[in-house]
Amino acid sequence: MSTPLQQRALASYFGAFDSAPQVLVQAPGRVNLIGEHTDYNDGFVLPCAIDFHTVIAIGPRTDGRVRVVAADFGHALDDFALGDTIAHAGPRSAWADYVRGAVQMGLREGLPLRGANLAIAGDVPQGAGLSSSAALEVAVLQALKSLLGTTAPAPARMAQLAQAAENDFVGCRCGIMDQMISACGQAGHALLIDCRSLQTQAAPLPDDLAVMIVHSRVRRGLVDSAYNERRRQCEQAARVLGVSHLRDATLAQLLAAHGQLDDTVFRRARHIITENARTLAAHQALTRGDLPEMGRLMAASHASMRDDFEITVPAIDALVALMQQAIGADGGARMTGGGFGGCCVGLLREDQAERVAAAIESGYRSPDGEPPHVWITRAVDGAGPLSL
């Protein structure tokens, strides 16, 4: 039986193109349990794919054009010609650039696309740090792949193409984590991703574990410019330390070079180096079901994001403190995502979820007086086809 989200994509397709699609696909959003801003430093991350998705209905064309309808934007339409260089959609249709960029990368990969109709619907909260953009990019590539009946590109390669779409077409220099977990997620598991080799190690989530996502209702207006600035600062630190990426640096090396770095760049590098170590330790703790240790690591991660990487805001810090107090020692909480607002993630025992959610809903309001959104989610599989 199709879900309401799938039905919305299908209805949008029928309404725009007056025909039935050939294929229906999905790609999930994600929440990162620990390992923030480490991905573009060739480091380690520990996300899981979550049960919020982008769904695309797609059918063929043969005229060298792609037509797209976005159910989430008032059934807005985009129409562009295929070619080596696809033009940008313009600021009024920013969503369309993620589609155009993914199509262009698919063509450059050799997908023999002659044209397509796409209808897109999603329920990944936008602007919340749950990777709605990566889900869209990966879903577009999965749709093209399924339409053409090919098994290539493989999931990890699909993630690389989606990342290239965001880096080179959209212009945000993100790392590989968001696209990788959207393409490669495993139901019931978090995934330790080595962002250099793209090797993954699954960590089973205990059956009685709840993954809680809390939207702070703080809009993430500064994230793109700040993200690119943080990346430049990490690259500067790596050059001074004589390594290609901060993944290869040790804390001892950083401390020895303290005098060669200004304080801000030093602290940025300290976050990355210590966050990589925390992420590897968290994978081990999660694998053995050690929630108290996960809580300690998540608390240290949040403190590092606040003090060294400076990507939290006071409302987020207050929300995390409230979550940690409500959860207690058997679990933990931290901000998740690029920063400056968005969501926090908590790990806790399932039988505590209702109590903790009530404490958060009664104890937190955004700076604008808005209540939080609280979701209890589960780890799901990555991108793939759906039954029509």
Q: Within the chain, what is the greatest distance between any pair of CA atoms? A: 66
User: What are the residues whose beta carbons fall under 8 Å from the beta carbon of 74, sequence distance 6 or more?
Assistant: none
- What does the DSSP assignment read for 26-95? EEEEEEEEE--S-GGGT-EEEEEEEEEEEEEEEEE-SSSEEEEEEGGGTTEEEEEE-SSSPPP--GGGHH
Classify the C-alpha dihedral 280-283-284-286 as positive or negative: positive
In whole angstroms, what is the distance from residue 158 CA to residue 198 CA? Answer: 12
> What is each CA distance from 106 to 68, 110, 113, 138, 369, in whole angstroms?
16, 7, 9, 11, 44
C-alpha separations of 360 from 180, 184, 379 in Å = 31, 32, 22
What is the rounded distance in angstroms from the CA atom of residue 103 to the CA atom of residue 86?
9
Distance (Å, whole) CA 284 – CA 12: 44
Question: Pick the catalytic residue: 178, 263, 317, 381?
Answer: 178
- Whether residue 333 contacts residue 238, with contact meaning beta carbons closer than 8 Å, is answered with no
DSSP 373: E
User: CA 189, CA 380: separation in Å to the nearest integer?
Assistant: 8
Q: Single out the residue of 346, 336, 347 nearest to residue 290, CA to CA.
A: 347
Residue 178 is a catalytic residue: yes
Residue carrying structure tokens 């690591």: 297
Residues 169, 105 contacting (CB under 8 angstroms): yes
C-alpha dihedral, 368 to 317 to 224 to 9, nearest 10° = -70
H helix and E strand count, the chain: 11, 12
The DSSP symbol for 379 reads: B
Catalytic residue numbers read 178
